[in-house]
A and B are shown apart, each in its own frame.
Chain A
């Protein structure tokens, strides 16, 4: 019995060795990314395109939620075990700078890798570079859109043009009319999620940190203005607050809310209910009136591909990205219709696929429109302490809604962030 067991063990070991040597001969690039319908799908299509010229390379795609990627990344780098990480990872743009600066040497510097970063939207290159060096291949577009139910607007006597290139006070005034005539709010938002606030800030080219990376909350006039708008939106009922993401999505898919404002990736959720086909339209977001340099364009969310610096497959991984996400218009043409994954790769914007009218949006060529918005998004640096500041602003908003004055709430928030930065 014992002999048989050891024989079995030897067999298993030999088989394992054989297996790994086979894997070595056949080069494998591993990828971590989340969202099967969007990022993973794009990766699979990219692998197909790459395999036409390099059939011996296997792109192994492992679905990993963003929170897990961040946790595993932090743990691996802290423990000095970066070889447990894949060759390519998808990183949220708002966490990219933090990870690059906190974990120096972990991500490959792609500046002179042959990838032409001039071919990507400016704001996205700004988000993915640190100290003038490019650390990620930009992927999806988070250009902010204001998506509205045209049928509801019409009931209240408005058209989409009345909500295009407008200011926030205009938006609130018209939103009140819509609410009064149709009973429908124009916006919904997850309570204490500062996404809308951040979006408005970027539309004016400001952020929670100043150019030197110092926290910029208590004296940030743009932020104060945004919070005033937020409070007015909430108090007037033009915007309803819900408790979680599912409720947020169902608020407009069920039709209780007549619009939403977010990164353009939200389109994937808007187009779900069949009965609202043709009723939606997309336009730019309102601008802040009192803030200089305010625009009607912003960004929300979005992510980019990084390559592990000490990976044995580093050059192969870079070559793969260069020939697909940074070099294949065909890839973006393929993934656009079914996933709505809008590129920040500018040559793809000229493609025929982007000019095709979208049935769900009453024949509007939304992708062409959004690509135009993306080109106009002001550049900001999210910074290393972005998450700390986001949470603090979220708490500040909730306190203001509960009655605290904006100045004190932001002073508290600034102290909290300063405390977390001061180590």
Chain B
């Protein structure tokens, strides 16, 4: 008597489970995976609309000789190499400091550091643009402090423009990564540290021998997310520099946007470009997993 009921219950639970999963899955498949598949097919075509034809790897070959694409690729890789490590180290250091139980006003500092993440990408970019304008706040500040003799045209010089973008990215995303580190730090059992102190480990050793190894999965997660975000950079460069000067801050996403909507539309070529980004994210993540994840 008991057996059939439990089987029935099991099937019932199964049905309920599937009922919960299916609507979301259908939505994800239709609006996420289906377009990705379509875009992949599109990237092998030429022409557009009803006249599109399959043309093999033409679009991918074309990428190799596209100087603007190479410029944009170098730009985002520069941001990736220079900005992401600095930001993650900063986030880690801040999280470590704010995890100190003796620190006063911890909640206030945490909120203050996380607050940038609550601002819209476009609005903070516009604020940064005006901060670094020729007659903006930064120049006024530096002039008044006598650090510089004449105003710096930040956004007109390729390297200072890149610097402003990186500063903006750091301001916006450090707090976001810090929260991940902070929650991970709080999950580390305090008794481990106590044991280490009894064993005579100094602060330096505790940080590098205990905290860092324990945080490894989270460091990996934030590194992959930041890599992904940087390769898809769009809002900041569009709104702060619009890709200038001389394409020095042009991101791949902005080039894709230009090719799709500002220039004569080249959807297949733009799709091919986005798949290159996709593959790059995949490769970089795989590399980070190999280096970072030794479980």
Stretch of A73-81, A222-230, A306-314, A352-360 lying at the B interface: A73-81
Chain B nearest Cβ from A395, distance in angstroms = 5
A80-B264 in contact given A402-B246, A419-B66 (Cβ < 8 Å): no
| Contact bitstring B60-82, A, C-beta under 8 A = 1, else 0 | 00000111100000000000000
Question: Does B266 touch A at the CB level, under 8 Å?
Answer: yes
- B residues neighboring A (CB under 8 Å): 46, 48-50, 65-68, 129-130, 133-135, 153, 155-156, 244-247, 258, 260-267, 269
Residues of A within 8 Å of B269, CB to CB, are: 423
Instruction: State the interface size on chain A (CB cutoff 8 A).
Output: 32
Stretch of A135-143, A202-210, A295-303, A383-391 lying at the B interface: A383-391
B245 touches A74 (CB 8 A): no
B264 touches A388 (CB 8 A): yes
Residues of A within 8 Å of B266, CB to CB, are: 423
B265 touches A74 (CB 8 A): yes
Q: Bound state CA distance, A388 and B260, in angstroms?
A: 12
Chain B nearest Cβ from A358, distance in angstroms = 30
A74-B50 in contact given A399-B246, A416-B67, A416-B68 (Cβ < 8 Å): no
Q: Bound state CA distance, A59 and B263, in angstroms?
A: 31
A398 touches B262 (CB 8 A): no
Chain B nearest Cβ from A320, distance in angstroms = 28
Question: Does A328 touch B at the CB level, under 8 Å?
Answer: no
Q: Bound state CA distance, A241 and B245, in angstroms?
A: 12
Question: Does A414 touch B at the CB level, under 8 Å?
Answer: no
Of B48, B65, B66, B269, most buried by chain A (CB within 10 Å of CB) is B48
Question: Does A315 touch B at the CB level, under 8 Å?
Answer: no
Chain A nearest Cβ from B190, distance in angstroms = 51
Q: Bound state CA distance, A211 and B262, in angstroms?
A: 23
Residues of A within 8 Å of B133, CB to CB, are: 242-244, 247
Q: Bound state CA distance, A418 and B210, in angstroms?
A: 57
A241 touches B65 (CB 8 A): no
Q: List 6 A-B contacts (CB under 8 A).
A: A191-B155, A241-B153, A241-B156, A244-B133, A388-B263, A420-B264
Residues of B within 8 Å of A241, CB to CB, are: 153, 156
A78 touches B49 (CB 8 A): yes
Question: Does A56 touch B at the CB level, under 8 Å?
Answer: no
Residues of A within 8 Å of B68, CB to CB, are: 416, 419
Q: Bound state CA distance, A391 and B245, in angstroms?
A: 11
Residues of B within 8 Å of A67, CB to CB, are: 261
Residues of B within 8 Å of A416, CB to CB, are: 67-68
Residues of B within 8 Å of A118, CB to CB, are: none
A395 touches B246 (CB 8 A): yes
Looking at the complex, which one of A243, A246, A387 makes contact with B134 (CB distance below 8 Å)?
A: A243
Residues of B within 8 Å of A395, CB to CB, are: 246-247
Q: Bound state CA distance, A395 and B269, in angstroms?
A: 22
A243 touches B129 (CB 8 A): yes
Question: Does A221 touch B at the CB level, under 8 Å?
Answer: no
A385 touches B263 (CB 8 A): yes
Residues of B within 8 Å of A247, CB to CB, are: 133-135
What 10 A-B pairs have minimum CB-CB distances, sorted nearest first?
A: A398-B246, A243-B155, A192-B244, A71-B261, A398-B245, A388-B263, A395-B246, A387-B262, A74-B265, A387-B263
Residues of B within 8 Å of A80, CB to CB, are: 49-50
Of B68, B266, B269, most buried by chain A (CB within 10 Å of CB) is B68
B265 touches A398 (CB 8 A): no
- The B-contacting residues of A in range 216-264, CB under 8 angstroms, are 241-244, 246-247
Q: Bound state CA distance, A244 and B68, in angstroms?
A: 23
Residues of B within 8 Å of A384, CB to CB, are: 264
Residues of B within 8 Å of A78, CB to CB, are: 48-49, 265, 267
Residues of B within 8 Å of A391, CB to CB, are: 258
Q: Bound state CA distance, A388 and B68, in angstroms?
A: 12
Question: Does A30 touch B at the CB level, under 8 Å?
Answer: no
List 17 extra interface pairs beyond A241-B156, A388-B263, CB under 8 A.
A67-B261, A70-B261, A71-B261, A191-B155, A191-B156, A191-B244, A192-B244, A192-B245, A192-B246, A241-B153, A243-B155, A244-B129, A391-B258, A398-B244, A416-B68, A419-B66, A423-B266
A385-B156 in contact given A244-B129, A416-B67 (Cβ < 8 Å): no
Q: Which residue of B lies closest to A72 (CB)?
A: B261
Chain B nearest Cβ from A390, distance in angstroms = 10
Residues of B within 8 Å of A77, CB to CB, are: 49
Question: Does A98 touch B at the CB level, under 8 Å?
Answer: yes
Q: Bound state CA distance, A247 and B66, in angstroms?
A: 33
Chain A nearest Cβ from B265, distance in angstroms = 5
Residues of A within 8 Å of B265, CB to CB, are: 74, 78, 102
B246 touches A70 (CB 8 A): no
Q: Bound state CA distance, A394 and B245, in angstroms?
A: 9
Q: Bound state CA distance, A247 and B270, in angstroms?
A: 33
Of A191, A247, A395, A419, most buried by chain B (CB within 10 Å of CB) is A395
Residues of A within 8 Å of B48, CB to CB, are: 78, 102
B264 touches A102 (CB 8 A): yes
Q: Bound state CA distance, A219 and B48, in angstroms?
A: 32
Chain B nearest Cβ from A7, distance in angstroms = 24
A98-B155 in contact given A395-B246, A419-B66 (Cβ < 8 Å): no
Q: Bound state CA distance, A295 and B153, in angstroms?
A: 35
Q: Which residue of B lies closest to A396 (CB)?
A: B246
